[in-house]
């Protein structure tokens, strides 16, 4: 207990120190963050997701073991590393979260809209089923390289649409993703912004979600990240699991190929 407290205290001090040194923020903050990652509370969600995966649930009282995440039903190792990808049964490119929605409705009989409504949990809650499931399934790709390939026409379409959307400016802030994520070493206030048009930045996107979000005390998914961005951009409410999100994720993950997946990530 004392040791943990000590570690937490040191990490806290590290963060405080770095908060007052913006010039050196880059390096010192990353040291502080690394210390936090070593004790990532998000680990707790992996078991929760595992339970949800094997439990017989929903009106059809089925587990998710027959869900095909792209490598065949029940084959989870390395599956998340190749998402988003085209699925013949839905004739659509799906990312992990939209694929989970598909399986939860077709295999388990859940109402898609109901699941989507609860997909993003409240801060300080126990988290949503999808958040835990997405983390469990992605954790089965830990240590493996992101490998999004484009072969089906709809995969090419999603990639290009994602690229277009990344640069599409609208609304009263005139923002697209590129205004904040198009250059290296940028910050919003003290918050570091990922340089997503560089390989390293895209790789961090592709390999660190789902992540434990310190400020919210819950595990967050890529879809949550996108939702929060469009909220700041002053766009209307982004629905869960749309082609818009899937296209952006296809664009970013594809550019993030070769990153080694390590989830849960840790975000401030």
Partner 1 sequence: MNINKTKWMIFGVAVIVAGCATYPDQATTKLMAEKMVYDAFTFAPEHKKRLDQDRSQQICSKIGDAKLTNEEAAEVVKLARASIKYPASGNLVGNWKEGDKLAHNGAGDRIRNGKVEKRKENGALCQNCHALAPGEINVGNVGPSLTGYGKQRGNSEAIAKYTYEKIYNAWVVFPCSNMPRLGATGHLTPEQITHMVAFLIDPQSPINK
Q: Which residues are catalytic?
A: 229
Asked whether the beta carbons of 148 and 254 are under 8 A apart, the reply is yes
Measured from the CB atom, the residue of 140 and 267 that comes closer to partner 1 is 267
| Contact with partner 1 (CB under 8 A) among 106, 147, 198, 242 | 242
Instruction: Report in angstroms the alpha-carbon separations of 236 from 83, 170, 175, 227, 230.
Output: 26, 11, 13, 10, 7
Q: Which is nearer to partner 1, 140 or 195 (CB)?
A: 195
Query: Which of 106, 142, 147, 179 lies at the binding interface for partner 1 (CB under 8 A)?
Result: 179
For residues 207 and 264, what is the distance between their CA atoms, to the nearest angstrom?
9
Cβ 33 to partner 1 shortest distance, Å: 18
Piece in contact with partner 1 (CB under 8 A), picked from 58-66, 96-104, 202-210, 242-250: 242-250
Point out which residues pair with 104 in neighbouring strands.
Answer: none
- The whole-angstrom separation of Cα 230 and Cα 140 is 30
* 23 DSSP 8-state letter: G
243 binds partner 1 (CB under 8 A): yes
Tokens of 54: 């094997």
CB neighbour class for 240 (10 Å; exposed up to 12, middle 13-18, buried from 19): buried
Find the binding residues for partner 1 in span 112-171 (CB under 8 A). Answer: 150-153, 155-157, 159-161, 163-165, 167-171
Q: Which of 48/98 has CB closer to partner 1?
A: 98
Q: 129 or 155: whose CB is closer to partner 1?
A: 155
* Dihedral sign computed on CA atoms, order 183, 162, 255, 30: positive
220: which strand partners? 211
Mask for 10-49, x = binds partner 1 (CB under 8 A): ---------xx-x---------------------------
Kindly state the number of chain residues that form the binding site for partner 1, as judged by CB under 8 A: 52
Phi, psi of 79 (to 5 degrees): -65, -45
Binding mask 181-220 for partner 1 (x = CB under 8 A): --x-xxxxxxx-x---x-----------------------
Q: Which two tokens stand for residue 137?
A: 């399934």
For the chain, what's the residue count?
268
Residue 174 lies near partner 1 (rule: CB under 8 A): yes
DSSP reduced 3-state for 179: helix
Per the CB < 8 A criterion, the answer to whether 261 and 207 are in contact is yes
- Which of the stretches 66-74, 99-107, 201-209, 232-240 binds partner 1 when contact is defined by CB under 8 A? 232-240
Binding stretches for partner 1 (CB under 8 A): 19-20, 22, 150-153, 155-157, 159-161, 163-165, 167-176, 179-180, 183, 185-191, 193, 197, 230-232, 234-239, 242-245, 247
């Amino acid at each position: 207990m004392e040791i943990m407290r000590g570690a937490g205290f040191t990490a806290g001090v590290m963060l405080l120190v770095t908060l007052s040194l913006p010039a050196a923020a880059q390096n010192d903050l990353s040291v502080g963050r690394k210390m936090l990652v070593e004790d990532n509370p998000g680990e707790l969600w992996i078991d929760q997701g595992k339970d949800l995966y094997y439990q017989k649930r929903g009106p059809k009282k089925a587990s998710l073991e027959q869900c095909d995440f792209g490598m065949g039903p029940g084959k989870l190792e390395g599956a998340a590393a190749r998402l988003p990808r085209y699925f013949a049964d839905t004739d659509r490119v799906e990312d992990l979260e939209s694929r989970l929605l598909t399986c939860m409705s077709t295999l388990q009989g859940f109402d898609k809209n109901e699941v989507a409504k609860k997909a993003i949990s409240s801060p300080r809650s126990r988290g949503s089923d999808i958040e835990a499931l997405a983390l469990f399934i992605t954790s089965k790709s830990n240590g493996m390289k992101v490998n999004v390939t484009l072969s089906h026409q709809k995969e090419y379409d999603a990639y290009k649409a994602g690229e277009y959307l990344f640069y599409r400016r609208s609304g009263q802030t005139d923002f697209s993703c590129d205004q904040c994520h198009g250059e290296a070493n940028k910050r919003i206030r003290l918050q570091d912004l990922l340089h997503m048009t560089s390989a390293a930045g895209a790789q961090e996107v592709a390999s660190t979600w789902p992540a434990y979000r310190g400020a919210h005390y819950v595990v967050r998914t890529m879809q949550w990240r996108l939702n929060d961005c469009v909220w700041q951009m002053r766009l209307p409410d982004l629905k869960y699991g749309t082609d818009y999100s899937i296209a952006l994720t296809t664009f970013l993950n594809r550019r993030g190929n070769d990153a080694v997946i390590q989830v849960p990530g840790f975000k401030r």
